[in-house]
Structures are given as C-alpha cells and as structure tokens.
Chains A and B, each alone.
Chain A
Amino acid sequence: MLKTQGLGYWYQDKAQPLFQDINLEFDVGQSYAILGHSGTGKTTFLSLIAGLDKPKAGDILLDDRSLNQIGLTNYRRHEVSIVFQAYNLFTYMSPLNNLLTAMAITGTEHAGDKAFALKTLNDLGIGADLATRNVQHLSGGQQQRVAIARTMAGDAQLVVADEPTGNLDEDNTQAVIEQFQRIAHDRQKCVIIVTHEPDVAAQCDHQYRLENKQFTKLS
C-alpha cells in the first residue's frame, strides 16, 4: 500500500544523511513498529510518511502514486491520520467536538454524525460524561485515547504515531497499544508506530530498527 523508493533525508549536510536509499513497504491490516536510538531520525522518517515534510531523495508512493502527485495537504486530509506524543487535541473543545471537528475537516463519510463520534469514544472507554467535558480535564491516557478515537473515526487507511505511549503509565500503554492493534486488524488499516519501548514494539506485527542510516527488519 505504502512504498518508499530510495528514500533519503538530511537536514544541513547532504554528506551526512539521517538515512538513505530506504526501500520499505507497508500494508493494510498490519502494524509496524520502528525502534532506534535517540536522534537517529525516526521522527523525521515518520514526518515524511505522514506528509508533513518532503523527502530530500527518493519518493514515497501511496498505491503507486507519489505523495507529490497527490498533494501533501490532500494526502494529510484524506489518506493519513497522525497521533503525536502530546498536543494532539484542540484544548478548547470537548472530546466529542475534537472528533466532530476532525471529521468535518477530513470530510469522512460519518462527518457530522454525533452518535457515531460518541460511540467511537465510548469504544475507547471515553463515556458520554467525559466526552462532553473540556479535554484539558482529562488525564494523559484519556487524552491519548481521544486522539486514537479521532483516528478511528476517520477514513484514512494509514495511521502513524510518534511515541504515542511516551507519556503513559503501563496500564494506559497497554490499553493504547491494544487499540492500535484493533485499528490494524479490525479496521484493516496500516499502522506505523515509532517507539522506544521494546514491549510496545513486540506487540506489533512487524519491527524495524533504524540504525546506521538503514532500516533493519527485526522480525
């Protein structure tokens, strides 16, 4: 579904790329974990896949169409859903309005469907009571679940997450990772997670390590 072709990226010095000549393939119905030491370029790689930045070398293809061809804004709106480590939500809204807003912007088939949004939140343990409070009054784990619910409510085939469990305790981490697995398996989406935690990575279907400018498949 998603392919990188000879992908390379550097910040200042072309002679010192973070990674180069990366050829990977990601498929729907699968979850992928990306491990690696700090500063190796995991987040940078994810930002390219998420359409937040353009590659310096090579290309990224979605169903054999280049992201440039699709248009980055268009790609972000319709094809990819992103979960960050923090600051995922509109702080001045309730979880419900966060979902409705994202659904309206991306124009999903359920856009405007309040009951659908409430049910999606409820599936992730955000009951009607929590769903209508301001998100700032929710715990970090609850907020992360709202962000995942937002991803589930959309139509995007690709879900990318950068250390989505970085701020969470063990219980919440387990709950969140289970949701990502459900997104991949039940919703038949492609989930790519960058993480430091081997436990989290181990639960994904595939693991890659970014090392020496290359991605190595661990399993």
Chain B
Amino acid sequence: MNFFKRAWLNVWAKKGRSVLLILVSSAILMFVLAGLLIRSAAVKATAQAKADVGATVTLSANRQAAFKQMQNSSSSSSKSSRPKMTLTPVKLSDAAKIASLDNISSYNVTSSTSVNAKSYDTVATSSGLSGGGSGGPGGMKSSTSTGDTQIDGVTSTSLATAFSSKQSKITKGRGITTADKNTNHVVIEKDLASQNKLTVGDTITVKETAGSKDKVKLKIVGIYKASATSSSSAGPMSTDPANTMYTSYTLANTFKGSKYAGTADSVTFNVSNPAKISSVKAAGKKLINTSKYALSTDDSSYQTVKAAMSNVASFANKIVWLVAIAGTIILALIVILMIRERRFEIGVLLSLGEARWKIVAQFFTEMLMVIVVAVAIAGAGGQFVGNQLGSQLVSQSTTTTQTTSVTGQHGGSGTPGGGMKGGNGGPSNLGQNAGSKTAKTDLDVSVSAVNLAELGGFGLAITFLSIMIASGGILRLEPKKVLIS
C-alpha cells in the first residue's frame, strides 16, 4: 500500500510536527485514561465495598404482630388492667435453616439479659447516675427484672456489631467464640476489671435476676475496651457500658431460665452479596412463621457506599466522554489545519490520479502512528494523573459517606420503644459501621491491560472521527484550484 509508505515518510520527515502532534494527543489521551482509570477503580472499589461493608438480615420477634395482638386482647377482654405484649423468642432451629440459604456467610445469635453483681462492684456512670435504671419511657418490661450487669450473649464477639465495627476491642485474653458455647466464660470491660482488680483467668460471681435466682460463677477469658461512642449509643436507660459483659448466648439463655434454651432475642445473618439481600429475605421468610417472627434487613451502609462510588463512577464517565469529544474536536481542527497546509501535496496526488480515499487513508495512517506513541506516553503519564485524581475523589466521597452515616446513626438510635432490655447497641451501630468501613475504601488506581486496550480504542475512535471530520476538506479539494492559481 503506497499510502502507508507515504504516511511513514511524512511522519518521519516532519519530525517536529509529529512530536507536537504526539504531545497534543498524549495530553488528550492522558485525560481520557485518567477518567477510565477512575471509573474502573470505582467499579472495583464498589465490589470491594460490597464485601467489606456487607449487609445483614436480622431474625427477631415480630413486634408489630405482637403489638396488634396485645391491642386486640385489651379491647376484647378488659379484665386485666394492663395488657401485656408477649414476644416470642427466636428459635435457633429457624436460624439454622436460614443460615443454610445461599449468600449467608455467617450469623450471630444475640441473647441479652441482666444479672446482679455479687463478687464485684459495678462501675458507676460518670454522670453519677447509678446503674439499674428500671427501663426508660417506651421501654418494654421484660419477664425478667433488671439487674445491674448487662449480659450480652453472642455466638462470637467478633461477629457482634460492637466489635465488627471496631467500637469495642479485645485488649487482653480473647473474645467469645463458638467454642465457648455451653461454658461460663465471660469477657468483661476494662474499667470494670481495673476497678475490681480482675484479670483473665479470674472468676466472678453473679446472681441471676430471673427464675431460681442462683448464684453463678463466671470465668474471665478476655477483657475488652469499649470506646466512648458506644457508651452514648447504649442509651439513657442502661447502666454504664463498662457493666456489659459478653458471654456465649447459651449462658445468657441459662440466666433467663430453662424455657429460653435454644432461643435468642435476635439472630443477625451476614449477607455475602448485599445486592442479593432482598432475595435472601424473601427466601428466609418462607422458612419462618411470619406471624411470630420478622426478618428485617439492613444494607444502608452498603447503599451509602454504593451511592458514593457510583457518583465517582458517573463523574469519571462524564470525564471520559467530555475529554473524548473535546479531544476529537481539537484533533479534527489540527488535522483540518494540516490539510490546508498540505493542499499542494494533495493536489499533486490528485493530479497523479490518486484515489481520494487513499489520501484520507494516508492522513489516517499518519495520525494512527502518532496515536500509538501517544497511547504509550499517556499510559505512563495517566498512572500519575489517575493517582492524583483518584485520591482527591476518594477523600471527597468518603466525607460525604461519613456525613450520611452519621445522620443514619441519629435516626437509628432515635427510634423509640427500641431496645429489648435496655438496648444493646443494636442497629444504630450499623450506621457508624458504614463510616469506618468506607474510610478504608481506597480507589486502586493502576493501569491495567484492559485500561490500555480501552485507551487504544478511544485513541482509534478519536483519530478516526477527527480524520472523518477533516476529510470533508480533502474530498472537496479541487486539484485545479490547488495547483493553478
């Protein structure tokens, strides 16, 4: 192909012009690449955020149904002075069924109660209010009376919200694990431990508040530190957060009484793919008696992260298209100028009987040679630009995410009539969870082969379009007017 040789001779002979074209094209492509990088990084980060932040489905008693039932009974038979709302504890056999569904990675059983301190003193709240408040307004009286020590029975502390959101941390010994099932192992708070000079391996005695009110010996296997934020989330009606102990849910059930064996207050399932949360909920509903139990979902943190990341992605998308269009226009103008300057050459080609499409093909080939070098340069430089832009965008999006999650938290803890037995953190913590997790979400901005291929595609398209736009000039050019003036 003769036009190919001409293109090469021209690019080579006019090195200065070629270098300038390469620089302009590199600059355009670098911006395109930066946009591509941020977009693909946002997609990656969203996938990562799904895994990191996750979403949960919680199985608990159907509060609404119970409330309705209570109202019905009070209206039909007004003999009892005060109607009682009965909540059916969640059956662990139901939980096991739900846990076997697809997309459930793990689950945590929560069973909370309270006991009274026997061999140690509880920590008084800093405000001077002593623990053991008898339930705040809207608080529901449970069948058990309230003790001064909060017992949070869990499957494992690492799955408990307070620990997974990093608000509480094991500082000594270890947390509660599934191996602690049916043991009297306990994890106590640091302040309580230091006040009573207790350490890992020591034994404490508590007195049950329900049933036989037995004295029970507990063995300390770990000490945790509760952060300042968790104390506020505990709400006004609970004791100081330092008086919260973690045990296996089996022990909490024992404290509540024999009829609570194999039950739980609630079971939280971690959904591995948050996008599937509604189908998980639907499948779970088929497995339970919905008049007694309810399945609630929480993917707010996932949604927040997803929204923030899709903002970044759509912004990057706009950058890509804007730059591509602007680049096409700029290159087209340059090519038009180039063609004007080369009208004698085009005239000679036409007078030799060269086909016009081959002249266009020559210009296209020349630009293609330029673009190939420009893609390589942009590939190297785009890494730098992408890094700068990426970190800028992430710091912005993280700020928005955190703001959103804080608002979410207020909403959560503000729900009245919430906590069973003095609110054990509960869903309000999930909001904070989102904040802390997103802060870690980094945009991995690195040039992959796919990015380079995409960039090449854009380069090709920009070249093609700009030559097409400019070639109108070549196709209209009359050799007579060019050469005879």
Contact = CB atoms under 8 A, between A and B. Distances in A.
Given A87-B344, A87-B347, A52 B479 contact: yes
Contacts of A76: 350-353
Interface of B: 2, 5-6, 9-10, 13-14, 344-345, 347-355, 478-480, 483-484
Contact of B6 (A50, A77, A87, A101): A101
Contact of A162 (B348, B349, B484): B484
Contact of A87 (B348, B352, B478, B480): B348
B13 A47 contact: no
Interface in A64-102: 73-78, 82, 84, 87-93, 97, 101-102
Contacts, number: 64
B227 to A, nearest CB: 72
A82 B347 CA distance: 11
Contact of A134 (B2, B13, B351, B354): B13
B353 A78 contact: yes
A50 B482 CA distance: 14
A191 B13 CA distance: 34
Nearest to A89: B348
13 contacts: A44-B484, A47-B484, A76-B351, A77-B352, A77-B354, A87-B348, A92-B13, A92-B14, A93-B13, A101-B2, A104-B5, A105-B354, A134-B13
A91 B10 CA distance: 9
Given A46-B484, A52-B480, A102-B352, 20 more contacts: A44-B484, A47-B480, A73-B355, A76-B352, A77-B354, A78-B353, A82-B351, A82-B483, A84-B483, A87-B344, A88-B348, A90-B6, A90-B348, A93-B6, A101-B2, A101-B5, A101-B6, A105-B353, A106-B353, A134-B13
A74 B352 CA distance: 9
A106 B349 CA distance: 10
B431 to A, nearest CB: 67
Interface residues of A, number: 30
Contacts of A197: none
Nearest to B358: A105
A43 interface: yes
A63 to B, nearest CB: 18
A215 B364 CA distance: 45
B353 A77 contact: yes
A178 interface: no
B348 A43 contact: no
Interface string A158-192: 00001000000000000000000000000000000
A82 B483 CA distance: 11
Contacts of A91: 345
Contacts of A43: 484
Contacts of B484: 43-44, 46-47, 52, 84, 162
Nearest to B355: A73
B214 to A, nearest CB: 101
Contacts of A25: none
Given A77-B353, A105-B2, A92 B344 contact: no
B221 to A, nearest CB: 83
The listed residue with most A CB atoms (<10 A of its CB), out of B351, B479, B483, is B351
A106 B480 contact: no
Which interface residue of A43, A77, A90 has the most chain B CB atoms within 10 A?
Answer: A90
B475 to A, nearest CB: 13
Given A74-B353, A76-B353, A88-B348, A97 B483 contact: no
A102 B352 CA distance: 7
Contacts of B2: 101, 104-105
Nearest to A93: B9
Contacts of B480: 47, 52-53
A140 to B, nearest CB: 15
A93 to B, nearest CB: 5
Contacts of B351: 50, 52, 76, 82
B485 to A, nearest CB: 9
Contacts of B355: 73
